[in-house]
Structure 1
Amino acid sequence: MLISRRTFMLGVLGAGCVLSSRPCFASIAQGIVAPLTDDQLNASFAGLCAGAGQLLAGRLSPNDLQAALTKARVLHARLLPLPDIGGPDNLVYSSFVVGPQYVALYKALSPYGVTAKEVGKLVYDLAAHSYAQQAPTLKANGERLFSPGYYAILRAWAERSRRKRYPMDWVQTVFRGDGTDYDLGIDYTECGLMKYFAAQGVPELAAYPCYVDFPASRAEGTGLYRTTTLAWGGEVCNFRYRKGRAVTQGWDKA
């Protein structure tokens, strides 16, 4: 996204932890990011594993937890480089980097009885904490989502997606709202993460990244409301943004 160029990483959650200043997740409101190398992606995932280790302490024995997270880091490295969806100029590039993270965590933890939903909640909690810590910075970028200049960027991005040049890409349309119910609408008719998880043999993961959109929007002040997604069985992912609206949805209310 054209506005800010940043590397998105997820820090560690827990008592006495040190939280990275850059989250693993990004929304389309945050602008075009700088390209991420495989080394940077692996470093980001190591931070996520550190946070996961804190949240899973007590659920697994220390030896099992260490073994699972070591395996996860190996799996993540093997899943790189990312499939091509047009690079960082694609506004969902920073969303796509989480695909290997979910897959690696799930495949490493599932032999120990950790379910796809539990992996989803684990990542959701880490991301929500990271977003909340950075709300002032994210909100400044979020306000740009509603500017005329950024609307033009969104429309061009959506038009490119409908050419379907990249098999793993999202496909979407962008439109203005009525200013009452919403200011900006985006309907996704194809989801890159759904395709990626299916290709990796773990389609059961697809529903869970959708939840992270809510704490992201809350931190950005972009007022997301959504009633359905492709991963939840809908025909579209119907994102509706209204500047300043309270985001009431989340993991328990979506």
Structure 2
Amino acid sequence: MAEVIHPFYDSHRGAMEAAMRHRLDLAEAMLCERAHLTDIAGIRQEVTDEFEIVLTQMPYVGGAASRMSDFFMRLMGFMAISRVLRRHGVLLSMIGEIERETYKAQLLTMPEAERLASGRQFMSPENQTLLREQAAKSATTSHQKEFPEDFVYDFVEPGPSDTFEFGINYKACGFCKFAARHGDKEILPNICGLDFDAYATRGIHLERTQTLAGGASHCNFRFSRLPSD
């Protein structure tokens, strides 16, 4: 029986594939010069084929109603790229470097005004209210039963001596669950490393000292605004 892509992800397939192809364009020189791969066309085809598999494996966590759906759609392409590069013997550290540099370069193709506006929206009181609501919902038994592969998290208010504006403690991670299910645990830390550039390019400082992927009890995300130039 053929594996099925969830209709929500299938409707976004074109955008996800385009983003992945763009990352491969940005990575081409590094794949040649650092990873010493020569058949780049072959690598591209392998990644495309692997992404078809990843699409069938992506967990559905609520579609447009869940902020975490966007996380999966933006980052699952890296799973396909990582799997292929590992099969070609590329070191995990090298994969991490290539992925982080290409992701940052891709993020910076967005106009600065748009990136910073997105960052201000993320840090806004309105979004913090939404995050509190979604965090509370993520921890409910009914939500975890309906979407067992979703993230579970708490909203963290700053204390009197804290310098961050708000935080999120992820107590269960959708990517960790995905990696455990499909044999991608060694790739996972590289996926985690992408978070810092994802926020920095939007004018947000992320402080994080531990992750579930690293064996901690939770991922401790702490957010504050980067100073304006």
TM range (shorter): 0.7 to 0.9
The answer to whether the Cα contact below 8 Å between 1:53 and 1:69 also exists between their aligned partners in 2 is: no
Number of residues of Structure 1 aligned to a counterpart in Structure 2: 212
CA distance in 1 between counterparts of 2:30 and 2:214 reads 26
Tell me how far 1:210 sits from its aligned partner. 1.6
For residue 3 of structure 2, what is the aligned residue in structure 1?
none
Aligned equivalent of 1:45, options 20, 28, 33: 20
For residue 10 of structure 1, what is the aligned residue in structure 2?
none
Tell me how far 1:167 sits from its aligned partner. 1.8
2:92 aligned with 1:116: yes
SS in 2 for 1:228: coil
SS in 2 for 1:62: coil
Aligned equivalent of 1:160, options 137, 147, 151: 137
CA distance in 2 between counterparts of 1:61 and 1:39 reads 27
For residue 170 of structure 1, what is the aligned residue in structure 2?
151
The structure where helix makes up a greater share of residues is 2
State the Cα deviation string for residues 209-231 of structure 1 (Å, max 9, x = none).
22111122222222211111111
* Aligned-pair identity (%): 23
CA distance in 2 between counterparts of 1:244 and 1:88 reads 29
SS in 2 for 1:145: helix
CA distance in 1 between counterparts of 2:11 and 2:155 reads 27
CA distance in 1 between counterparts of 2:15 and 2:108 reads 23
CA distance in 1 between counterparts of 2:10 and 2:208 reads 30
TM-score, with length taken from structure 1: 0.75
Code of the residue aligned with 2:167 in structure 1: it is G
Tell me how far 1:177 sits from its aligned partner. 1.4
TM-score, with length taken from structure 2: 0.82
SS in 1 for 2:189: coil
Runs of at least 5 residues in structure 2 that lack an aligned partner in the other structure: 1-8
The answer to whether the Cα contact below 8 Å between 2:115 and 2:201 also exists between their aligned partners in 1 is: yes
Q: CA RMSD in A?
A: 2.3
4+ aligned runs moved over 6 Å, structure 1: none
Runs of at least 5 residues in structure 1 that lack an aligned partner in the other structure: 1-33, 247-254
Equivalent positions of 1:64-75 (< 5 A) are: 65-75=40-50
Aligned equivalent of 1:186, options 159, 168, 172: 168
Do the aligned partners of residues 36 and 159 (structure 1) sit closer, same or farther apart at CA in structure 2, a change above 3 Å counting? farther
The answer to whether the Cα contact below 8 Å between 2:22 and 2:106 also exists between their aligned partners in 1 is: no
